[in-house]
Chains A and B, each alone.
Chain A
Amino acid sequence: MKKEAFDLFKREMKYLGIALAALFIALEIAFYKENLLAVLRNALSLFWLFVLPGYFIMLYWHENLGFLERFFVGFAVAAGITGVFSYYAGLIGLNIKYHVILFPIVMILVGAWVNLKELKKDSIY
């Protein structure tokens, strides 16, 4: 089971790397008049805010869904969660400027924790 999990992790990390590169290239093509650093920062921002959190949330269903499908649905799911809970976090006094760090970290950690728990559960049986 450990090997399977490691293989999955290795494969998915490769996909994530390709996804980041593809995102950067796609943005560079669409916004070719913009300077490279601004495009790179934009790609990294999208990756940090939506791709990574969405990836860790959708990883739970990796056996049923391909990477690309999880990538796009995860993108929207992460945005939905961020938008809704950022509103509430602001209302309880957490200034929105901190959400850019906080929300992706929370989603990544929760997603990773749930998936690790699932993997452990699978390895017991």
Chain B
Amino acid sequence: MIKIKLDAEKIILVIFLVILLFIGPGSIFSHQLKHDFPYGYSASDAFQHQTRAEAIKDAGNFRNEASYISFGLEGLVGRYPPTLYHLAVIFSYASGMEVYDSIYFIVLLFSVVGAAMMYFIIRNFNKNAALISLPLMILIFASPPSMGFSWGHWPSLLAQVFLIAFAWCIVNIELKNSYFLIALILAAIALTHTSEAVFAAIFIAIFFIFKLITGKLEKNSVKNISIGIAAFLIVSSYYLIIFMNTWAKAQPYSFSVMPAWEGNPGFYIMGFGILLIFIVIGIVFSLLKIKDIHAALIFAFAMLLSGFLNYAGFDTRAFQIRFFWPIYLSVFFGFGVYMIMKILIKQWNQIYSLAVLFVFIMPLIGLIKIPLVPYYENNGFQGLMDPYHWDALKWLSEKTEPDAKIYFFYGDIYGQDALLRNSKRTHYQADPKNFVQALQNSSIRKAYVSELPGDSGGRPVVRKRIFDFEDVVSSKPQEFFFGPQNICNFDYLVFDKASQQQALAQYNMLIASELLKKEFIEIVQENKAVVILKNNKVGADCIEERSF
């Protein structure tokens, strides 16, 4: 009998995870594993991560940042936490997926793995609460938390999966030699998105404070965590030196209050709607059991607090934690519902938990719509990229000389400039504001105010010696990054043929036709949306300035 019950629990868990896989990764990927271009990318950050992973695949390692990511500068040290990129490249080799698919797939799939691990964390506390907690986890794929995926907060999300694994390690800290897992998982967190290591530290601090206060601090736990942290520091030291000289200097902690995440679809606690009532009830019952509080509940408290640290200087990092609130706070939800039901039904049976699980899945999955209950909606969306721009970018990366300089005229999607890095060449782009002014003045110019897009996050540096880093970007004059550029000095000129503002596309085409009047300029690639010109006499007078 017991065996059948256990199997039923496992089967339900697996079915739930398949549902999560279907509505999350499946739906976001339009139920296809392979796409002809980056699919479902909705913001520049997504392309930022994709192009870095591509660059690592090309180079074979992440010693340096690719020059086309770094304002055309060579030799900048690879400063972004590397784990996600490496996993994406390795998985790309194994599965035959393109890197742009594998990197997104890894993040999506591991989010489901994270939900499964959270289930086991909660199960360690209470099996019924664990089963009832599952439906809330669906909301990681509902809007707005799902924006974390489509907008490219991928390193943070993967690091949070490792954060859940870390919480699992702490829940199971009494396991023999658990320091081994603690060390490796902490290293994985720090080398995926280092700020999550701070949230792990917050959790561990709260955990030990609770244990100390309640007099339940075991010597073995202290030993395991101490050895684990020491080993983590050894394993991570090489990267942490880079981190301390880049990100830690560029974005040092300073107290600030940031109630709203401007320009981003942040998730707020009221987003749980009436489900918040059950979460609050779970919190209340947890506090009533504070003397015997379980690590699963401490973890949820720590993540609830961490998600509010936008009021204490953690800014976007705190908002990123909220993307996974539906997973972290599911323990409160499951516990809250379970305790209410227990008041009504004294002799609780696991079958009741399964029934409650089913009752909550229906509205949360969107099959039954109930006012004030958030629910999942299909996330299938092509994103910013289209086959024509992708074709043009691939052409530039494969058919142009490695040292070619490329100029992008106005394009609707180029505002998300990291996607231009798919050209794998040093590139400039027309500044839209000045470009519109030029159009309004009816003038064709030789020089347009232009931007040199690149990744300035975390202080780009060259590593001179092990502890010696030189900032080579801040010493450059402002005009290096933004100012008038003579379009005749570029090897390739890229024009969009269509735009939501057709006047801009027509202006693009007018400039292109003027350029083509010179015999040394030719069309080298063209499709429905993009035309690419090659300038065979770089530096020569390539266009006649005039009014039209």
Judge whether B62 and A90 touch: CB under 8 Å: yes
Judge whether B63 and A103 touch: CB under 8 Å: no
Residue-wise interface mask of B (135-177) relative to A, using a CB-CB cutoff of 8 A (1 in contact, 0 not): 0000000000000000000000000011011001000100111
Judge whether A86 and B117 touch: CB under 8 Å: no
CB distance from A35 to the nearest CB of B (A): 9
CA distance A93 to B90 in the complex (A): 16
Q: A1 an interface residue at 8 Å Cβ cutoff? A: no
Contact of A64 among B18, B29, B175, B191 (CB under 8 A): B175
Residues of A within 8 A of B (CB-CB), count? 47
Judge whether B120 and A73 touch: CB under 8 Å: yes
Contact of B61 among A60, A65, A91 (CB under 8 A): A91
Contact of A77 among B10, B31, B34, B165 (CB under 8 A): B165
When distances are taken between beta carbons in the complex, the residues of chain B under 8 Å from A41 are: 95-96
Q: B413 an interface residue at 8 Å Cβ cutoff? A: no
Residue among A42, A91, A103 with the highest chain B CB neighbour number at 10 A: A42
Judge whether B87 and A39 touch: CB under 8 Å: no
Contact of A38 among B17, B34, B172, B177 (CB under 8 A): B34
When distances are taken between beta carbons in the complex, the residues of chain B under 8 Å from A60 are: 176-177
Judge whether A33 and B62 touch: CB under 8 Å: no
Contact of B63 among A49, A79, A90 (CB under 8 A): A90
Judge whether A29 and B181 touch: CB under 8 Å: no
CA distance A38 to B176 in the complex (A): 40
Judge whether A91 and B63 touch: CB under 8 Å: yes
Q: Which residue of B lies closest to A43 (CB)?
A: B95
Judge whether B96 and A38 touch: CB under 8 Å: yes
CA distance A41 to B238 in the complex (A): 35
CB distance from A95 to the nearest CB of B (A): 4
Q: Which residues in chain A, 2-40, are within 8 Å of chain B measured between CB atoms? A: 22, 25-27, 29-34, 38-39
Q: Which residue of A lies closest to B190 (CB)?
A: A84
Residue among A30, A32, A38 with the highest chain B CB neighbour number at 10 A: A30
When distances are taken between beta carbons in the complex, the residues of chain A under 8 Å from B25 are: 30-31
When distances are taken between beta carbons in the complex, the residues of chain B under 8 Å from A76 are: 110, 113-114, 117, 161-162, 164-165, 185, 188
CA distance A42 to B51 in the complex (A): 22
Q: B263 an interface residue at 8 Å Cβ cutoff? A: no
When distances are taken between beta carbons in the complex, the residues of chain B under 8 Å from A48 are: 94
When distances are taken between beta carbons in the complex, the residues of chain B under 8 Å from A69 are: 120
For this complex, 27 residue pairs linking A to B, each with C-beta atoms less than 8 Å apart, are A26-B17, A26-B18, A30-B25, A31-B26, A31-B31, A42-B95, A60-B177, A64-B175, A73-B120, A73-B165, A75-B113, A80-B162, A80-B165, A80-B184, A83-B83, A83-B87, A83-B188, A83-B191, A86-B86, A87-B62, A87-B82, A88-B238, A90-B63, A90-B86, A96-B60, A97-B60, A99-B90
Give me 4 other A-B pairs in contact (C-beta within 8 A), A60-B177, A84-B235 excluded: A26-B21, A76-B161, A76-B165, A90-B63
